[in-house]
Structure 1
Amino acid sequence: MEQDNMDDSSYLDFDGPFLTNLPPSIRRYTYHGEQQFSNIFESESSTNSELILFHASKETIEALFNPDQETPIAKLCSSFDTKERLFLITMPSKPHSATIRGDDRGKQPDHGWGPRRRARGEPDSPSVVLEVAYSESNSKSNSDVRFWLNPNEGNANICLTLQIHKSRPEIRIEKWERRQGRIYRSEVTYITKKGDHSNVTHHPINIPFESLLRRPSERGERDIEFSRGQLVEIAETIWETQGW
């Protein structure tokens, strides 16, 4: 079931900022070489920083993120933009998927899925992606959504964002798609907990078969649905690590 009564805040423009609109809480540095990067990385590791933003020339970024010769820095990078001359480092806590490149930008999803076998000419990128945010702002999540749903960049069909609240047992899941040439938030689900009771505001979350596999379904094939019970199970696993 889709929520069609949303206002204009449910839409994003493809041409919005990618990395320039990140919150001021993210530390910013100018890149001056691998040794300086290593010193900053080690220093920030001891402060529980989750993201670091670096400014560098277009030529430096292209060299660091050359797909034919992956550098140690590239393995730590979650996003880059040669036009904005910025690259974003995510402090490692879990493995990431491969970097997907657009014309001027690149990004790694937290998780991504797509057809195992692709027809000739189909994009070698996930059709459905998930971005998980623990302390990131809406501006960071929105820039991720723009990248993944832009046909010239991530070219995904669906982008799911899962935002974990730091100070209370609350998880917000948003489902974003392309609609009439714009990026549209088609579903919003809140999972909350009070005492021993968990509440889910909107379920199931539906992933259409054709959006995932990039082909029409055949007999016996159907959409993927995340039921209330499955969503609560995901939330409880997260809350257990948070101590709720």
Structure 2
Amino acid sequence: MHGLPAKTPTFQFYREEQCAQILDQQLDRYERTGEGPYVIITSVDERSFLECFTESRHDLLQKSCVSYDEQHSIILLEMESKVHASACHSFTGIIETWGYQAESIIMPTGSASFRGTTRTKRGDCSWMPAEIPSGRSPKWPTLAVEVQWSEPTSHLMDDIRFWLDDSEGDVKIMLTISISARYTITIQRWSLRYPQNKSKPLPFPTATVQITRGLNKTSQPRITGNITIPFEEVFLQPRRPTESDLILSRPVLERMASKIWTAQDQQ
């Protein structure tokens, strides 16, 4: 399912309490082994999805539900690690600081789900402007971010296609933050392109930043590449004189990397 390994734990849905128990058991396994943050629940109709997951009384069950495949009646649960959470929180801080400096308002979409052509999904973090221009649907965020940690690249590519393809261009900025076990963090911006002799567009990185930790924790990390997030593409309006694009500068990247690597050291 969506680029996940065939050995991903899979269970048939019976009731909400059963799913909560499964998630508790799988979370214990994940914390002990660090293997496979995903759980697949099958045979979930749309009513059960709404009542037992998006509106669940179990907070962990609601937060862990990242995707619902309507066509196949399958739910994907993801158990969040410290490393994954640290990346999300650190990048959220960067966007919030940028937003505070602007006169315009950008809103985080939190745990909101977005419905595409074949499935419903929420991003690791996403944002949209408070003021939506006339003629533009408020259905999609303008900026979406996915964090890759202990998950297959094929699954990440599937998520990228969801945001870029299903939104039909409404998601203007699609970023990924990939974290390796060797203390390298790769941030990329993606777009869809048509490869030669292909009828279907595929995701391609259009900008890349790589941050690699030094030989010891006190040395400066090595940073290559650059990414700029244009103001107009996120806020959907021209910049005022006091507003600016977001440049992922070295100090900003170093602070983010430090928080992620601290979480990695605690694993």
Displacement of 1:154: 8.6
Q: 1:87 aligns with which of 57, 75, 85?
A: 75
Structure 1 vs Structure 2 CA RMSD: 2.8
Displacement of 1:112: 1.0
Code of the residue aligned with 1:52 in structure 2: it is V
Q: Which residue of 1 aligns with 2:28?
A: 46
Deviations 1:146-202 (A, max 9, x none): 111124479311111111112x21111111134579443101221101222311111
In 2, the alpha carbon distance for the partners of 1:104 and 1:153 equals 14
3-state SS in 2 of match to 1:235: helix
3-state SS in 2 of match to 1:136: coil
Q: Which residue of 2 aligns with 1:128?
A: 143
Contact 2:133 2:236 in 1 (8 A): no
Contact 1:61 1:87 in 2 (8 A): no
Whether 1:111 aligns to 2:125 is yes
Whether 1:189 aligns to 2:189 is no
Q: Which residue of 1 aligns with 2:55?
A: 70
C-alpha distance 173-32 of structure 1, shift in aligned 2 (>3 A):
same
3-state SS in 2 of match to 1:47: helix
More moved, 82-91 vs 31-40: 31-40
In 2, the alpha carbon distance for the partners of 1:26 and 1:217 equals 46
Whether 1:199 aligns to 2:222 is yes
In 2, the alpha carbon distance for the partners of 1:152 and 1:165 equals 29
In 2, the alpha carbon distance for the partners of 1:134 and 1:241 equals 12
In 2, the alpha carbon distance for the partners of 1:179 and 1:210 equals 22
Q: 1:56 aligns with which of 43, 60, 64?
A: 43
Q: 1:221 aligns with which of 216, 233, 243?
A: 243
3-state SS in 1 of match to 2:6: coil
Q: From the two aligned structures, give the one with the greater helix fraction.
A: 2
C-alpha distance 137-186 of structure 1, shift in aligned 2 (>3 A):
same
3-state SS in 1 of match to 2:129: coil
In 1, the alpha carbon distance for the partners of 2:63 and 2:169 equals 18
List gaps (5 residues or longer) in structure 2: 31-35, 90-109, 195-199
Q: Please show how residues 128-147 of structure 1 align to structure 2 within 5 Å.
A: 128-147=143-162
Displacement of 1:118: 1.6
Contact 1:175 1:187 in 2 (8 A): yes
Q: Which residue of 2 aligns with 1:176?
A: 190
List gaps (5 residues or longer) in structure 1: 1-18
Contact 1:206 1:224 in 2 (8 A): yes
- Percent sequence identity over matched residues? 29
In 2, the alpha carbon distance for the partners of 1:155 and 1:23 equals 30
3-state SS in 1 of match to 2:175: strand
C-alpha distance 132-173 of structure 1, shift in aligned 2 (>3 A):
same
